[in-house]
Amino acid sequence: MRLTYTSDVWYKNAVVYCLDVETFKDGNGDGVGDFRGLTQEIDYLAGLGVTCLWLMPFFPTPNKDDGYDITDFYSIDPRLGTLGDFVEFMRTATDRGLRVIADLVVNHTSDQHPWFKESRSGRDSPRRDWYVWSDTPEPDDPKQVVFPDKENSIWEYDEGSGQYYLHSFYRHQPDLNVGNPEVRDEIARILGFWMELGLSGFRVDAVPFLIENVTPRLASPHEFLADLRAFMTRRKGGSILLGEVNLPYKDLMQYFGDGLGDQVTMCFDFIGMQRAWLSLARNEAGPLASALRERPEPPKDCQWAMFLRNHDELTLDKLTKEERQEIFAAFGPSEDMQIYGRGLRRRLPTMFGGDLRRIKMAYSLLFSLPGTPVIFYGEEIGMGENLDEEGRMAVRIPMQWSRDGGFSQAEPVREVPDGSFAPDRVNVADQKRDTSSLLRWFQLLIERYRECPELAWGEYTVLDTGHPAVLAHRSDADGATVVVAHNLCDTAQDVELKLAGLERYRLTDLLVDGTVDVSADGVVRLPLDPHGCRWLRAAPPEIPPEDASVKSL
């Protein structure tokens, strides 16, 4: 493995940082985050070590769904700035070595979009078939209703034209019909437009909904994804599609393009995420270990995207009802902490009650799991949520830069939490000066992760630890090996690991000083603190650990 090759496929060991421009930093003092404010903080993001920024929607919108209801795919929400501000942001990010991807929300538009207004103007409208209409909609399946607290159907009657239109999400978000070639061409133009302005790819919102809910049905829905990927590769080699595909592994693999890898470049590992939370709730490694053992390998040059928390609810929909209740009891016992009966609307630090030792262990786990880590803004300082906000908005709060907030000189667009997670207790400025802070821990984890391409590129093996609370795995690539162990419980543990092929090797700690030797029969004994974590690089005793990495090959 050469660094030149890993650089070509940059996303396989990237560090992706998701942020909402509206809530990150206000640059003009009106209380709303904007591109000028974001640009001012590019050096903070580069210093943190992230390599790719993922921007939540920044397009013009009536803002009924936090920007996911779009009225113009070719412009910027005026509250967030202008196209000129966007270009200046892209120029600055590129100068600091940061790639940028953005949300591609083309499953639907706002009902205020000019396309839909034209479509609903009459059945003979030129854009009538840009959306999905029906005289007699199919009977509703309750499982199809994504937001059961707001909607009881996925069809809405339009009195003006006397038909029903499909909306997989809210009724003010009519579904686009990608079965129409004109719509598919328009989506490609949208991608091409933003790639010309510097984007390296897109996070594709709700991929299954995008290609399945169309009329007429596409003969081969996945050909559309393959066509988009091919279009992007022709325009800009190295560009990516990051897919939101919350399906069981066996059903998800087709979104990679099965063995070809010619559709979605990366997919979020929702199964691994949900099993990880079950492990954290039980203080047992078993659920996550089983997910890692079951997870299929993605096609060559594709990758899994790993996360513990994102901008939506923490969905637990792929667990059993009993398993969900275990997680609710551990991390969100109050009904106002739960949402849709299937998830939580809390951030990780509050779920752990602010226990820094446990929080640091959880993020160490995230960065060491095989795949590309994706983090949500504010996770690096341990921000909480504001449960007074409605629904998923609880976690989408203003970034906390200083003790007085630091987000804006005006009243912020949304309220920040109070109590132990308020800005006067959780902020960037204080943690920059504290060497034991969560921010400094994130910087260390990112630095070590980038120094260990084995974790993202290597062949991983879940190890037998002999203790239910300890998860251990090894990643091997081109003769180099990294071994990682995490103790999920609050008591110290000593575990013995069998490391075939590493007999008489020395394991060097990467997060703290220290070494441990592997015996002649390939066994190593690892002490672990309560909620402790260890990253170790394997090397023969005569070779310095820094020379045993795939970096040197």
Residues designated as active site = 205, 244
Beta bridge partners of 203: 103, 242
Cross-strand partners of 484: 473, 535
d(CA 379, CA 489): 22
Spatial separation of the C-alpha atoms in residues 353 and 338, rounded to whole Å: 16
Which structure tokens are listed for 240? Answer: 């990516």
- What does each C-alpha distance from 193 to 34, 116, 239, 244, 463 come to in angstroms? 21, 21, 14, 22, 47
Cross-strand partners of 166: 155
- Long-range CB pairs of 126-132 (<8 Å, 24+ gap) are 129/177, 129/180, 130/176, 130/177, 130/180, 130/182, 130/183, 131/165, 131/166, 131/174, 131/175, 131/176, 131/177, 132/165, 132/166, 132/174, 132/175, 132/177, 132/213, 132/214, 132/215
In this structure, how many other beta carbons lie within 10 angstroms of the beta carbon of residue 294?
Answer: 13
Contact 20, 33 (CB under 8 A): yes
> What is the C-alpha separation between 184 and 225, in angstroms, rounded?
10
Specify whether the CB–CB gap between 365 and 471 falls below 8 A: yes
